[in-house]
Chains A and B, each alone.
Chain A
Amino acid sequence: MKPSTSLIYDGTFHGLLTCVYTAFEEKLLVYNILPPGIPQTDMFAENIEVFTDEVKAKRVWLGFQKYATQRGQNSIYYAYLSELPKIELDILRYFQHTFNCKTSVDGDFANVHVLKIAQTAKKVGREKHRMEAFVRFQLTKDNIYFSNIEPDFNVLPIIEKHFTSRYSDQQWIIYDLKRKFGLYYDLEKARVIHINFSKNLSSSEEKELLFDTTEIKFQQLWKKYFEATTIKSRINTRLHHQHVPKRYWKYLSEKNPLHN
């Protein structure tokens, strides 16, 4: 029997698919799949670095598509975007289970890996939906609607479509501060950008330089609206926090204590 192996990949989706290919091709007993920068914990496992290969990745995906439903395919991609530790292994097991059964397994919720993938995909889907809700654009002097986000999961690739079809007549930028990349829509299509925030964006002088003069007024109007629409005799702080978790507050202008 072969000793158990750890695969190390470059963190891309195609890289992960190449890992799946490698595991099958070399009949490896995979114990872990790790993105770069995560220290290996098991001293006895053999480490193999997998180099992303588009052709191999494509073969795996096409083979998977033969059996998997659209929902199953989405779940795998969403689960990958979660970036949760060890999720790669669940993804590998999902592929193995599918290829063993030679049918779609996305309803096999009594299998721990399938359930885990379904639940993780659900979490990522929720975060996607939250970002579609909680992005707050601010109009800059260059007539670009700008927004910062720090989502729990890497949802930028899956919210692109929503924003391009909704705001197709305005330029906008959504920037993921955590993962240090953003999307810029230039009225034609959205593309990936990287910005060096050299200055302190939150200082009021910077804001004055950067944003349109009416911007702060609209934020104040929105906050006023938000306050007026609350029914005081029904206040339920727990429910409020449940729906709008505190970690998102700093980007929500209606929760900003400075706008009055």
Chain B
Amino acid sequence: MMFERIKEKLEILADAAKYDVSCSSSGSKRTNKNKGLGNSDGMGICHSYTQDGRCVSLLKILLTNHCIFDCAYCVTRRSNDIKRAAFKVQEVVDLTINFYRRNYIEGLFLSSGIFKDADFTMERLIRVAKKLRLEENFNGYIHLKSIPGASDELMREAGLYADRLSVNIEIPTISGLKKLAPEKNHSDFIKPMNKVKNEIIQYNSEKKLIKSTPKYAPAGQSTQMIVGASGESDREIMLSANYYYKNYNMKRVYYSGYVPISNDPRLPSLGSQVPMLRENRLYQTDWLMRFYGFEVNELLNQQFPNLDVEVDPKLSWALRNQHQFPVDVNIAEKEMLLRIPGVGLKSAHKILQARRFRKLNYDHLKAIGVALNRARYFIICDSRGWETRDLGPAKIKSLILRNSVGKFRKEYSSQLSLF
């Protein structure tokens, strides 16, 4: 291996790939067969974390950062004056195998700038995955990008070697896409997404009849949306996310706070802050939709198009819907337990189990892990001192804010002083 040259390429092509936030390596079972290399048991592993706190689970690189497109929000856009580089197929394979053997990574995340055309690029990505699977007997995780506009045949082949495929929608609204990436077509994004979705459904149904049916993208599809680049509301973003979850069976939608990278007047200017708090609130909403049984329009609607920055979306919902509380934790259904602010999935599960043995009081709940500073205003349990005062939403909110700390608090402290 030409270490010096590879190092240079790695620096350029990892740097260009880092804005893709997806790094999950879970959800795919690939057992090691015939003493091959690697084994995925469905549980992801973060082998390290970058200094910005994001998980490093996969070797995340671009095959090349040469690109024929000129999307305003992207660092590798044609008109940007940066160093360009390209990996050879074998170089990516060698890097992946050597990193994997040293237990640095769970596998490969391969994306690419689009050179020549969509199919040409997609074919190269597939070649890397194919080589890893067939020649190296590699059972680790492979995440490939579906290149917008790639043909159905190629997408079909890609799923046979990859664990996950993803197309980044990037801009949540069609009008935003027109503005920031006029050369790209919304339907080009949808095409590979649709093909992969249909193939997954088909392979799964065949698998039920014939056990030897090969795996097809077992970890499903994901996509990513940039937040804060084209002025859309939280409601528009989450409606869009919901649409992809429902219609394309997405495993995940990622939200990426826009990191300013150019002086383009259509975008936030270079020094502006990355909207991390907003990103955080969107993820919370995403979790509420996927795991807590909330519908998107309960959290965001015409009346409330944006999420509350001061408190989390569940608390915000509970404050608007006080008629549903207090909830008695010793008798409530799981669905309702999950809606109590300060009770998460784990605590709800523990409450359900523990209350079969005895009635639970504040001390029990606290030991179990319930965040009582929020939950106490919304529950009844086997303790006398529950909240009996008739407090309004504004009062509860200010009490909670006063008795808790938040990592983003300093960013909106000016608003707090109103109380």
Q: Which residues of A contact B6 (CB under 8 A)?
A: 221
Asked if A115 contacts B368 (CB within 8 A), the reply is: yes
Q: Which of A180-198 contact B (CB under 8 A)?
A: 187
Contact A109 B350 (CB under 8 A): yes
Which interface class (under 10, 10 to 19, 20 to 34, 35 or more) fits B?
35 or more
- Does A27 interact with chain B (Cβ within 8 Å)? no
Q: How far is the CB of B104 from the nearest CB of chain A, in Å?
A: 5
**B-chain residues with CB within 8 Å of residue A138 when the two chains form the complex:** 102
**A137 and B36: CB pair below 8 A?**
no
The residue on A at minimum CB distance from B358 is A110
Complex alpha-carbon distance, A218 and B3, angstroms: 8
- Annotate A209-242 by CB proximity to B: 1 below 8 A, 0 otherwise: 0000010011011101110111111111101101
Contact residue among A135, A232, A243 (Cβ-Cβ distance under 8 Å from B103):
A135
- B39: A residues at CB distance < 8 A: 165-166, 168
Does B299 belong to the interface (CB within 8 Å)?
no
CA distance A228 to B6 in the complex (A): 13
Annotate B44-55 by CB proximity to A: 1 below 8 A, 0 otherwise: 011111111111
Q: For residue B260, which residues in chain A have a CB less than 8 angstroms away from its CB?
A: 233
Q: Tell me if A170 and B101 are in contact (CB < 8 A).
A: yes
Is there an interface contact between A234 and B102, defined as CB atoms closer than 8 Å? no
Knowing A107-B357, A109-B350, A109-B354, the reply to whether A222 touches B104 (Cβ < 8 A) is yes
Q: Count chain A CB atoms within 10 A of each CB in B3, B36, B49 and give the residue with the most.
A: B49
Q: How far is the CB of A183 from chain B (nearest CB, A)?
A: 14
B32, B52, B357: which contacts A235 (Cβ < 8 A)?
A: B52
Listed stretches B12-20, B166-174, B390-398; interface member: B12-20
Contact in complex: A137, B101 (CB < 8 Å): yes
Residues of A within 8 A of B350 (CB): 107, 109
With A231-B18, A233-B259 as known contacts, state yes or no: A244 contacts B367, CB within 8 Å: no
Q: How many residues on A have C-beta within 8 angstroms of the other chain's C-beta atoms?
A: 53
- Asked if A206 is an interface residue, CB under 8 A from chain B, the answer is no
Contacting residues, chain A, for B49 (C-beta < 8 A): 239-240, 243-244
Q: Do B38 and A166 have beta carbons less than 8 Å apart?
A: yes
Contact A229 B364 (CB under 8 A): no
Task: Give the docked Cα–Cα distance between A162 and B103 (Å).
Answer: 12
Shortest B254–chain A CB gap in Å is 14
Among candidates B54, B104, B257, residue contacting A136 with C-beta atoms closer than 8 Å: B104
B213 on interface, CB distance cutoff 8 Å: no
Asked if A133 and B259 sit within 8 Å, CB to CB, the answer is no
- Contact A237 B51, beta carbon cutoff 8 Å: yes
Complex Cα spacing A112 to B260, Å: 51
In the assembled complex, B95 has its CB within 8 A of some CB on chain A: yes
Q: Does B289 contact A (CB under 8 A)?
A: no
Residues of A with C-beta under 8 A to B35: 168-169, 187
> Given the complex, which residues of A lie within 8 Å of B32, measured CB to CB?
165-166, 168
Bound form: Cα–Cα A170–B368 in Å: 43
CB atoms of A236 and B48 under 8 A apart: no
**B367/A229 in contact, CB under 8 A:** no
User: When the two chains form their complex, are residues A110 and B354 in contact, meaning their CB atoms are under 8 A apart?
Assistant: yes
Contact indicator per residue, chain A 94-117, by CB within 8 Å of chain B (1) or not (0)? 000000000001011111100100
- Interface assignment of B267: CB less than 8 Å from any CB of chain A: no
Interface-centre pick from B36, B102, B367 (highest chain A CB count, 10 A): B102
Decide: B59 and A168 in contact? CB cutoff 8 A: no
Rounded to whole angstroms, the CA-CA distance of A166 and B138 in the bound complex is 10
- 7 smallest A-B Cβ distances: which pairs? A107-B353, A239-B53, A234-B52, A243-B49, A228-B14, A109-B354, A230-B50
Residues of A within 8 A of B (CB): 105, 107-112, 115, 129, 132-139, 145, 147, 162, 165-170, 187, 214, 217-218, 220-222, 224-226, 228-237, 239-240, 242-244, 252, 254
Q: Can you sample 19 A-B contacts with CB below 8 Å?
A: A105-B357, A109-B364, A110-B364, A115-B368, A137-B103, A165-B39, A166-B39, A169-B137, A187-B35, A221-B6, A225-B61, A228-B14, A228-B15, A228-B18, A229-B18, A229-B56, A231-B50, A243-B49, A252-B48
Beyond A109-B368, A169-B35, 16 extra complex contacts between A and B, CB < 8 Å: A107-B354, A110-B354, A111-B357, A145-B101, A167-B37, A168-B32, A217-B3, A220-B3, A220-B7, A221-B95, A222-B99, A226-B50, A230-B51, A233-B260, A236-B52, A240-B50
